[in-house]
Structure 1
Amino acid sequence: MNYTGEHLLPGQLGHFFAVLSLVVSLVATISFYKSNKAVLPGEKESWMRLAKGAFLLETICVVSIIGCIYYILANHYYEYKYAWEHSDNTMQTQYIFSCLWEGQEGSFLLWSFWHCVLGWLIIWRVKEWRAPVLTVISFAQFCIATMLLGIFFFGFKVGHSPFVLLRNEGILDNAPFLHDASGNLSKNYVELLYRSGGSGLNALLQNYWMTIHPPVLFLGFASTIVPFAFAYAGLTNKEHSWTKAALPWSLFSVAMLGTGIMMGAAWAYESLTFGGYWAWDPVENASLVPWLVMVAGLHTNLIYRHSGYSLKSTYIFYVLSFILVLYSTFLTRSGILGDTSVHAFTGEGMNQQLLAFLSVFVWLPSFVESNKKGKITVAIIIAAIILLTFLLPETITPSLWLFSLVGFLVAFGIQVNRDKNIPAIHREEDIYSREFWMFIGALVFFLGAVIIISQTSLPVINKAFNQKMAEASDAEFSYNKIQIFIAIIVGILTAVTQYLKYKQTPRAVFYKKIAVPTIIALVASLAISIFGNIDYDKKGIGFLVAIHIAIFAAVYSIVANAAYIWIGLKGKMKNAGAAIAHVGFGMVLLAILISSSKKEILSWNTTGVSPLQNTEESNKITGTPAENITLFKGIATDMGKYMVTYSKDSFDVTDRKKYFVLHFKDKQNGETFTIYPDVLRNTKGQEGFSPNPDSKHYLNRDIFAYVTSWIENNHAEDTAQFRPAAMQVGDTTFYSNGLMILKKVDVNKPDVKGARPGETTISLDLEVISKNGRRYPATPAIAILNDSTMRSLPDTVVAQSLVLNFNKILDPKVGKMEVGVKENGAITDLLTLKVLLFPYINLLWIGILVMVLGTLLSIRQRVVKLRTKPVVARKPVNV
């Protein structure tokens, strides 16, 4: 049947380029492999020309696929499932790219795009190693291309195409408004779909950070394949001078992946209700762990380049870093973390293929490293894993892959350790040598990564072993209580290691150089500990002591590395990349310690009103009701250090957010400021609304606030009834949140609310007292005209949701009156807010910038060395 309004050409072009991408990436893989293995220069160059041509065509295909998807999303062609699921009619232009990488297919495309960019940089900049390195990258492109096919092969679906039509997916079967009287899909269903508007983008992603954070993070992910590919090149060519060429790339990977992670932290700080920049969320951890291992590999690479030690460790760390990126991809995209992470992807029916893809790369280094018999064994293992991945139920395949991963780690570690082709020095390093403590630091980083990934993998372990192990009740502290000791060790090592020389350092020289920075750091850290009010004792005295030791380690790292620029490098900034990066690391560590241990909740509930539920699940997200203050529109409310007024709210049609205007007044110095937290209605993912925090930034602190609940009652239907209460002066009557006392009865009291000239008024002077002791005046009254016409003048206590009415006089002799009491939730709008104070948060962001700057300077230094000095093969050393 022909349907009117369908735009089939963009999808057909996109699918064509997806198929072509698969073919040319395989051609490129084979050609680069042949070029690497060819002996004759002419044959090597011939294969290289074919490989570069195929890689160029692959790049064109990837860019074209992205262009087709963007075109479909931007024009709201809802006949395509991808556009229907990830976009809507009112989507702002800047979020179209966010729509693209919200789905799995788009995120894989982003990954593939960065592989293309990195591949061309290698083609242009790396001569000796480009053939084996690009063999790995092209093979990764082939694997990613299979994820975008969406075709059936021997009864198994290979990949998931972003160009499938919605009508072919069975989704429209349950949409009667799209069908005609006979039950068939209407010919103009596209127009009807457009009117319905699309599913829209997850509210969490409708933030400017999400237009820049994912590309940078995925560049970091993609870049980890380059050191991995260099390690592959070394294994397959039995040549180990690759470590010098790989060094700038590993530095680049550390810089980009670290920047992406920190951008995610900034996004969390500005857009999520984490109550900060880091919450040990599983998706955060899945990004952090490969970075930690890459940092370990970078340092062992440096050790090998300067001393000949730690080459085997470099192989292991570079391979593991990329493998952990793949494992993190499985964790975040298989849906297995859906119950434990606020921003994990859900499964798209590609879990089994994803696991097969990961298995191939996991066992690739072992395949390369093995002899002929070993290659056959590994090939059988890979084939068996892929076959079982598709044949076994999807609930079992995570177990299969976990066992496969463990098997690989054991097999690869044993192979690398026994490989006689990898040079090794068997003499023990001197304890006063730089390489000894750098290696200790690398091991500590690796240990921290193992602990984090083990805890994060709890859902996988539960599935693999059919267990029901629960997370720690305080998940954040369960990480902090271990990682703080990792931070202490790393902080101290980054301080002292720079002052050691490779091979050996005279003790007297070392102690002489390190003495002054140590004394300065000790004095400075003691000053912070004594005068900085670091009194975080919620987790016991032991953890508080650890915080103070960590503060010393952080300050030590800053001071010692800053001093080393002048003591060790004589002020030569172009060679100070490592020291600057370590200064930035120390600043980040210090900022984390201070801002977290001195983080203060300002929004303690003083109104006695809270719409929040006091449940364990709710408290994990918003904190306890006592930590959230409820504000009534137009009423200044005491919030400890500040008086806060919920002034007004407005809806911005452009970004579809509801903004709340909150005025703060400092009770001590009278300073005023306004912040504008907002909420966005979530059409998918989490139910309800998604709050976006806002902050008042100072040089030394941030006042950070986000909405936890709001109720608009000004248009609500009034369904509550007045409850009569007989009272005379001195009597008390109760309501749900307190009591009220009739203090006196006034006749013709001035300024009675609502009274008109010429009326006689009788008013009741009531005092309302809430459970928390707050007192509110109320004066309901009766107005009487000369003709004895009587009307009621009710009064409201909006902070207690009360309407009070003077119903009638019951007995004038004893002064008994009837008061009508109505507890009405529709009196006014109210807003529940969580407000936090983050001290010295700017130190964190500055530290990140300094750390990235130092890493970029190190990259420049290594690139310059590569240009000026030829790569000399290092002979195996067996001592």
Structure 2
Amino acid sequence: MIGTIGNILIYVAFATSIFAGIGYFLYSSRDDERLYRISNWLFGIKGALIIAASGLLLYLILNHQFQYYYVYNYTSSDLQLKYLISALWGGQEGSFMVWILCSFFIGLGLMKWTEKPYRGPVLFFLTLTQIFLISMIAGVSIGDLQLGASPFRTLAQEMPNAPFIQANPDFVPSEGKGLNDLLKSPWMMIHPPVLFLGFAMMTIPYCFAMAALWKEKYNEWVHPAMPWTLGANVALLTAIFLGGYWAYVTLSFGGYWAWDPVENASFVPWLLGTAGIHTMVIQKKSSTSQKASIVFAILAYVAIVYETFLTRSGILADSSVHSFVDLGLYNQLLAFMFVVTAVGIGMLIYRYKDLPRQNKESKLLSREFMTFAGAMVLFLIGFVIIIGTSSPIIGRLFEANPTPPEISFYNEWTMPLAILAAFMTVIGQFLFWKRQDAESLARDLTWPVIISCVLTLATMMLGNVRNFYYLLYILAGWFALVGNGFMMVRMMFKNPKLIGGALTHVGFGVLLLGILASSAYNGTLLDLSTRNYNEAIAAGKVTDDEGIPVRQKVNFLELKLNEPKVVNGKYKVTYEGYTLANQERPGQQQYKIKFEPVDGNGRQFTLYPEVYPMLSSSSANRIEWSVDPDVYTTFMSDIYMYVAGSSYVEQKNEQVKNNSPDNSNMQPASASQTTPDQQSDSTQVQTISLGRGESLNMGGYQFDFSDYTPADPESLPDSTLIAVRADLDVIHRATGVRDTLNPLFAIYKKDGKSWTYAPPMQVPGRDMFVQFTSVDPSTGKIELKVHGIEGEPQDEWVLIVAEEKPFVSVVWLGTFILMAGFSVSIFRHWDRDRKKN
């Protein structure tokens, strides 16, 4: 019933948006205020219907209505509330709903703040995009045509030919498939909504550009469009940061950017939007670049729709692990992209001859030329990225199964352009605020150049940088930082509201420096013996059994429980055990790795990397493991770590491989449990030795000995000479159940002789007994006999990959400065237009 209501709400919203679009079109043509009011009401009703539908979908998710495919596919009953809520946008259909809602709320803002003659056309084009977006979730069948995929479709509708559906059409699963483990991150709870807010806001400059072409108002449109464009760029930049940080702290590739199509889906529109901001600024200042401003406004939104097509149509399913599966939206997304592009380019061509022409060419050393050139560099970077992202599609013209380009393709093409852009930001800022010739510009740039060169030389010496290409990159970063910093200080004394552009460019310089330092100068943390082994490999001195030289270096560190190792001559690293937790991911292990500075200077810290089985991709005879890294952050460097293997993981893999039962999963004993003396001779008895604070694994259990406890003398005979109990924790590793035992060891006098008394203690609920049999006075170690357990004592170990990444914090700092610069500009332009209106 709820699903039916949800579908009806979407159907009515779809129809209402069509009528609203017609109303805005007629209003734009006839200037009838009554049509405008009616269209606004229709637009508002459409938004209210989508809000109601979203509320119903969230209700189904929170109440575990697994008969609905969306709920079944993206949730499970054990999900925490925060991840149940984030499942609303965790799937393709739900994410379209969030995108629609963001566009709706922005439309309300446009109704209030957009003046004639733009408001009618702007709202018409916004509603046109809403029609396409709502069609993606309509789920309407028209003959053989399927329009969209409804988030309210049931399992029976999604899989009508499944045997269990044919046997029982009303079948309701008892459990859902659950949310992707990689999405169980607080960062992914906020990243998608911010991203869709950016997508929605980037629609607005497109709509204003279309309105300008429609109404032949080619100059004034940039004033109301500028704050929206800046806001869209801030939202997209925030989403890029959140996605990058999520990748850094969640994925094991050790970075924050991998040039994946989903990453590029937000980055390319941001680049084109930033290019458009530059040309819009020139248009406001000099009444030039009208064509370029309109073109970039069109391209920025076309890029969003195109990247949406690439990532949601299934066309890149074999090229991107982040690509959505195909829901049958290929043709709709293709039509969406075609209409948006055709309308934009078509209207531009139609009005092209009427667009203002520049009477004379701009001088090379002019703010108009330099700002436009900067915009073109940003466009070229975006163009390179789109070519790389589209290469699996383009490659099909030449081969059957083309592969996506390597990361090096993007780095090699974008790095020179980024260097050029860095130099141009400084020259552009000095030309923007003051008309200059070559001599005056050289004079103004003297100190920024000198300081930048000194800082580059210092970086080269301190960082041991010898790569000439990297040195040029570093010089560009310092020049962007110092040069724009000079200009920002000047603007602060003149008018602090004008620092937005310079502050943004300072952030760009900081970002460049952070990217190079954090990605090109990582250092792996290894002990001395492993480093010597790697040096021997590099020298060709290591061969395998067949005499072939070994080329693969070791990049991991092996640690045994409570046996510290010194790495890089800097840290003493100790593995202190692991714990099992099932709160977010069943079978998740959290490892405890302690770092202590060797020289005693600096802070001691502990990292807790995690390993967990990917249940969705594991099988009865194979476990697919995934990792969750941990990071210790300082301004100078990060210690980045993940687990590459462990004794526990190896043990579980062997159990699954051999298809043998887990010996640790013993059933609770009955009331007629036997004592060790009554057990058969076949019962295994293991002897283990533990010192204070030590742990040992055996037969699926972990034994932790913390300390001694004095025994109660009242419970012992008067002849007792010494009595002590051991504080012992016995942990069932598969379930994490911890039982605390205090076995007794006593020495007493009888008949003139010394006797020991060590009664066995039963582990609650299990056929297992522990006896405290002796103490070594010289070492303080205790001896335990464990009855009823299989398996030999095992060394507990872990393999970790740990890297020291310099100045990752500088990357985040540069991003924040960029956000701050855009935000300052937003408030300045918004305030100026408000006062003007």
TM exceeding 0.5:
yes
Q: Residues 629 and 606 of structure 1: is their aligned pair in 2 closer, same or farther, counting only changes over 3 Å? A: farther
Could you tell me how far apart the structure 2 residues matched to 1:83 and 1:346 are? 16
Whether 1:629 and 2:560 are equivalent positions in the alignment is no
Cross-structure match for 1:446: 379
- Supply the distance in 2 between the matched residues of 1:448 and 1:243 (Cα, whole angstroms): 24
Which residue number in structure 1 is paired with residue 614 of structure 2? Answer: 682
Contact 2:688 2:793 in 1 (8 A): no
Q: 1:73 to 1:689 in 2, by over 3 A?
A: farther
Question: Who is 2:758 aligned against?
Answer: none
Equivalent of 1:838, from 789, 793, 805? 805
Partner amino acid, structure 2, of 1:653: N
Question: Is contact 2:635–2:807 with CA below 8 Å preserved after alignment?
Answer: yes
Tell me if 1:222 matches 2:153: no
Tell me how far apart the structure 2 counterparts of residues 168 and 316 of structure 1 sit (CA, whole Å): 43
Considering only aligned residues, what root-mean-square deviation do their CA atoms show, in Å? Answer: 2.8
CA contact under 8 A between 2:50 and 2:97: conserved in structure 1?
Answer: yes
Note the 1:405-804 alignment, pairs <5 A: 415=349, 419-464=352-397, 466-472=399-405, 475-501=406-432, 504-535=435-466, 544-568=467-491, 570-603=493-526, 626-641=554-569, 642-656=571-585, 657-669=588-600, 672-684=604-616, 688-712=624-648
Partner of 2:338: 359
Q: Counterpart of 1:705 in 2: which secondary structure?
A: strand
Counterpart Cα distance in 2 of 1:357 and 1:718: 48
SS of residue paired to 1:28: helix
The aligned counterpart of 1:165 is: 154
Q: Label 1:831 to 1:31 Cα distance change in 2 as closer, same or farther (>3 A).
A: same
Q: Residue 104 of structure 1 is aligned with which of 62, 85, 92?
A: 92
Letter paired with 2:510 = M
Partner of 2:354, secondary structure, is: coil
Match of 2:215 in 1: 237
1:299-355 deviations in Å (ceiling 9; x for gaps): 011111112222111111110111110111011112232333232212122222221
Contact 2:181 2:614 in 1 (8 A): yes
Greater shift, 689-698 or 585-594, is seen at: 689-698
Contact 2:68 2:155 in 1 (8 A): yes
Q: Offset at 1:55? A: 0.7
Matched-pair contact (CA < 8 Å) for 2:491–2:498 = no
1:37 corresponds to 2:16: no
2: distance between equivalents of 1:346 and 1:289?
Answer: 22
Match of 1:135 in 2: 124
Taking the aligned partners of 1:142 and 1:719, their CA distance within structure 2 comes to 52
User: What is the distance in 1 between the residues matched to 2:89 and 2:185?
Assistant: 14
Correspondence 1:21-60 to 2 at 5 A: 21-39=13-31, 43=32, 45-60=33-48
TM-score by length of 2: 0.77
CA distance in 2, matches of 1:229, 1:588: 31
Specify whether residues 172 and 534 from structure 1 end up closer, same or farther in structure 2 by C-alpha distance, changes over 3 A only.
farther
Specify every segment of 5 or more residues in structure 2 that has no aligned partner in the other structure, as ranges: 535-550, 659-686, 690-790
Q: Could you tell me how far 1:825 is from its partner in structure 2?
A: 11
SS of the equivalent of 1:425 reads: coil
Aligned residue type for 2:130 = Q
Contact 1:717–1:826 under 8 Å retained in 2: no
Q: Structure 1 118/604 Cα, relative in aligned 2: closer, same or farther at 3 Å? A: farther
Say if 2:593 and 2:606, in contact at 8 Å, map to a contact too.
Answer: yes
Amino acid at match of 1:452: I
Find the residue that maps to 1:499 and give its secondary structure. helix
Residues 392 and 404, structure 2, Cα contact 8 Å, conserved in 1: no
Match of 1:733 in 2: none
- CA positional deviation for 1:167: 2.3
Return the alpha-carbon distance in structure 2 between the equivalents of residues 173 and 574 of structure 1.
63
Equivalent pair of 2:581/2:589 in contact (CA under 8 Å): yes
* 1:658 aligned counterpart, secondary structure: strand
Contact 1:307 1:502 in 2 (8 A): no
Q: How does 1:861-876 map to 2 (within 5 A)?
A: 861-870=828-837
Asked if 1:16 is matched to 2:8, the reply is yes
For the 8 Å contact 1:98–1:205, the answer to whether it is kept is: no
Q: Give a deviation string over 1:277-318, Cα, whole Å, max 9, x none.
A: 112222212321111111111101111111222211111111
Pair 840,714 (structure 1): closer, same or farther in 2 beyond 3 Å: same
Q: Distance in 2 between matches of 1:717 and 1:16?
A: 51
- Which AA in structure 2 matches 1:153? I
After superposition, the Cα gap between the structure-2 partners of 1:449 and 1:54, relative to the gap in structure 1 and judged at 3 Å, is same
**Which of 138, 145, 150 matches 1:149?**
138
User: How far apart are 1:552 and its partner, in Å?
Assistant: 1.1
Q: Residues of 2 paired with 1:186 and 1:479: CA distance?
A: 50
SS at match of 1:89: coil
Q: Which residue identity does 2:114 align to in structure 1?
A: V
Contact 1:643 1:665 in 2 (8 A): yes
- Which residue does 1:319 correspond to in 2? 298
Q: Which residue of 2 aligns with 1:376?
A: none
Instruction: Quote the sequence identity (%).
Output: 31
Shift of 1:71: 0.7
CA contact (8 A) 2:121 2:210 kept: yes
For 2:363 and 2:574, locate their aligned partners in 1 and report how far apart those are by CA, in whole Å: 65
Counterpart amino acid of 2:201? S
C-alpha displacement at 1:460, in angstroms? 1.3
- How far off its partner does 1:207 sit? 0.3
Preserved contact between residue 707 and residue 833 of structure 1 (Cα < 8 Å) = yes
* Separation of aligned partners in 1, 2:169 and 2:13: 35
Distance, in Å, in 1 between the alignment partners of 2:8 and 2:615 is: 33
**Shift in Å at residue 647 of structure 1?**
1.7
**2:528 and 2:568 in contact (8 A); partners too:** no
Secondary structure at the counterpart of residue 804 of structure 2: strand
Alignment partner of 2:615: what SS?
Answer: coil
The equivalent of 1:381 in structure 2 is none
Alignment of 1:285-304 (within 5 A): 285-304=264-283
SS of the residue corresponding to residue 11 of structure 1 reads helix
Deviations 1:91-130 (A, max 9, x none): 1111123312221111111111110011111111112222
Change over 3 Å in CA distance of 1:754–1:704 after alignment to 2: closer
Q: Which amino acid aligns with 2:607?
A: I
For structure 1, which segment, 293-302 or 303-312, has the greater mean C-alpha deviation from structure 2 after superposition? 303-312
2-structure distance, mates of 1:26, 1:826: 72
Q: Distance in 2 between matches of 1:246 and 1:11?
A: 39
The answer to whether the Cα contact below 8 Å between 1:201 and 1:684 also exists between their aligned partners in 2 is no
Aligned-residue offset at 1:264: 0.7
Aligned to 2:545: none
CA distance in 1, matches of 2:486, 2:433: 19
Paired position in structure 2 for 1:738: none
Change (3 A) 1:10 1:606: farther
- Which is further off, 260-269 or 687-696? 687-696
Q: Is the 8 A contact 1:605 1:630 kept in 2?
A: no
Partner secondary structure for residue 578 of structure 2:
strand
Q: Deviations over 1:576-614 (max 9, x none)?
A: 11111111111111111111222112257967999xxxx
* In 1, Cα distance between equivalents of 2:572 and 2:254: 21
Instruction: Tell me, in whole angstroms, the C-alpha distance in 1 between the residues paired with 2:600 and 2:206.
Output: 58
**SS, match of residue 65 in structure 2:** coil
Change over 3 Å in CA distance of 1:571–1:652 after alignment to 2: farther
> Matched residues in 1 for 2:592 and 2:13: separation?
51
Task: Please say if residues 530 and 554 of structure 2, whose CA atoms lie closer than 8 Å, have aligned partners that are also in contact.
Answer: no
Pair 848,717 (structure 1): closer, same or farther in 2 beyond 3 Å: closer
> Are the counterparts in 2 of residues 605 and 627 from structure 1 also a CA contact under 8 Å?
no
Q: Does 1:211 align with 2:189?
A: yes
Give CA-to-partner distance per residue, 1:638-666, whole Å, 9 cap, x none.
Answer: 54343433321112332234211112233
Equivalent position SS for 1:457: helix
* CA distance in 2: counterparts of 1:306 and 1:571, whole angstroms: 18
